[in-house]
Structure 1
Amino acid sequence: MNDFLAKVRTLRWDDHRYYHQSRINQTLHLISALSFLVAYGLLFSDPALAGLVGWLVGMVSRQSGHIFFEPRGFDTIHNTTYEHKESIKAGYNMQRKGILISVWLGIPLLLAARPDLFGLMDAQDAFAHKLGLLWLGLACAGVTLRTLQLFVLRSPAWGLAWAFKIVTDPFHNIDIYWRSPIALLRGQLLDPLDEHQPAEA
């Protein structure tokens, strides 16, 4: 168990220092995290709405932070290139995210063209309801697929650690980014990242 938790801490630390230097990105991750907690709660009463909230609020705010605000040049703090960070990222790097986002955007188009989704859904059901369920399925498939890939590329332990990290990221993001809006209001656009990796990590 200690080894598993150490892997989770390593993944979280690398993710934070390499991909969350922008205070705007951190603030958007805070908004995303709060919306994902709402989506988690909705899973028990309205899974379709959970899918809509998770993607339209959680994922849009989260990925907008990465796409539009996170620096992509040479990382002088860590003395490494953006390309190197992308090559070692355990989860979805920008290339993999591009594929995932393309599928996400393609689902409503497919559903508009085939309301019954080739006989898999009731054509009379509300479009938003069906879309939410499909997006929820995409999220589950995305996490499962990358977990299985990491089983092969690294090890089952690393795959499970990454999956655990993803599922618990909303709680962790709130814990480490709740001060980011305050820093942003004070004019700090980039986190100086002068803190050291926690001793337990």
Structure 2
Amino acid sequence: MNTFFKELETQRWDDHRYYHHSRINQSLHLLSALSFLVAYALLFTDPALAALVAWLVSMVSRQAGHFFFEPKGYDEINQATHAYKEAVKVGYNLQRKVVLMLIWAASPLLLVAQPDLFGLMEPHTDWLGLAHNVGWMWLWVGVGGLAFRVAQLWFLKDLRTGLVWAIKIVTDPFHDIMLYHRAPLQLLRGEWMEPGPRGG
């Protein structure tokens, strides 16, 4: 069990030090984390709405921070190239995120061709029904994306690595709030990047 938590700590630290230099990215992760907590609460009463909040607010803000605001050049603080960081990333690196986000964005098109999704859901009759069905579809895209990467990591490394990553992903909102709750204020003070050096 100690090894499990040590690996979780390592995955979290690598994710932070390699992919969260920008205070804008950190602030967007704070927004993402807070909205994920709302989505977690909604899971108990309205899973489809929870998925809409998670994807439209949490995931869009989180990935916008990575794609548009995080530096892609040589990382002087960690002495690492962007290519190296992409290669050693345990979870979804930017290339894998592009694939996941394309699947997410394109998945509602299935409801145009098959409103009942091959008999898996009640066909929508209005815009609210469509949004509800899209929410359910996005919930399963999220669950599928999580399960797919765990299976990949199990095949490429071992099951523990995949399970550690899954626990990291599910608990990231709580951890991100602890890490980045000061980021908006630091940004307002004109601090665009987290200063180095970083210690592990």
Tell me the TM-score range normalised by the shorter chain.
Answer: over 0.9
Following superposition, the deviation at residue 120 of structure 1 comes to: 2.2
2:54 paired residue number: 54
- Partner SS, residue 107 of structure 2: helix
1:79 paired residue number: 79
1:189 to 189, 192, 195: 192
Q: Contact between 2:77 and 2:198, CA under 8 Å: does it hold in 1?
A: no
- Over the aligned positions, Cα root-mean-square deviation in angstroms equals 1.0
Q: Contact between 2:17 and 2:198, CA under 8 Å: does it hold in 1?
A: no
Following superposition, the deviation at residue 132 of structure 1 comes to: 0.4
Q: Contact between 2:33 and 2:173, CA under 8 Å: does it hold in 1?
A: yes
Count of aligned positions? 197
Task: Point out 4+ residue stretches in structure 1 off by more than 6 angstroms.
Answer: none
Indicate yes or no: 2:138 matched with 1:135.
Answer: yes
- Partner SS, residue 123 of structure 1: coil
What is the one-letter code of the residue matched to 2:5? L
Change (3 A) 1:87 1:159: same
1:130-188 CA-to-partner distances (Å, cap 9, x unmatched) read: 00011011111111110111111111111111000000000000000001111100001
Aligned ranges for residues 1-201 of structure 1 at < 5 Å? 1-124=1-124, 126-197=129-200
1:30-86 CA-to-partner distances (Å, cap 9, x unmatched) read: 000000000000000000000000000000000000010000011111111100100
Change (3 A) 1:193 1:139: farther
What is the one-letter code of the residue matched to 1:170? P
- Give me the whole-angstrom Cα distance separating, in 1, the residues matched to 2:132 and 2:9: 36
What is the one-letter code of the residue matched to 2:53? V
- Partner SS, residue 124 of structure 2: coil
What is the one-letter code of the residue matched to 1:123? P
Q: Contact between 2:28 and 2:62, CA under 8 Å: does it hold in 1?
A: yes
Percentage identity across paired residues of the two chains: 57
With normalisation by structure 2, the TM-score equals 0.96
- Give me the whole-angstrom Cα distance separating, in 1, the residues matched to 2:198 and 2:74: 20
Gaps of 5+ in 2: none
What is the one-letter code of the residue matched to 1:76? E
With normalisation by structure 1, the TM-score equals 0.95
Following superposition, the deviation at residue 195 of structure 1 comes to: 4.2
What is the one-letter code of the residue matched to 2:83? E
Following superposition, the deviation at residue 119 of structure 1 comes to: 2.5
Q: Contact between 2:49 and 2:135, CA under 8 Å: does it hold in 1?
A: yes
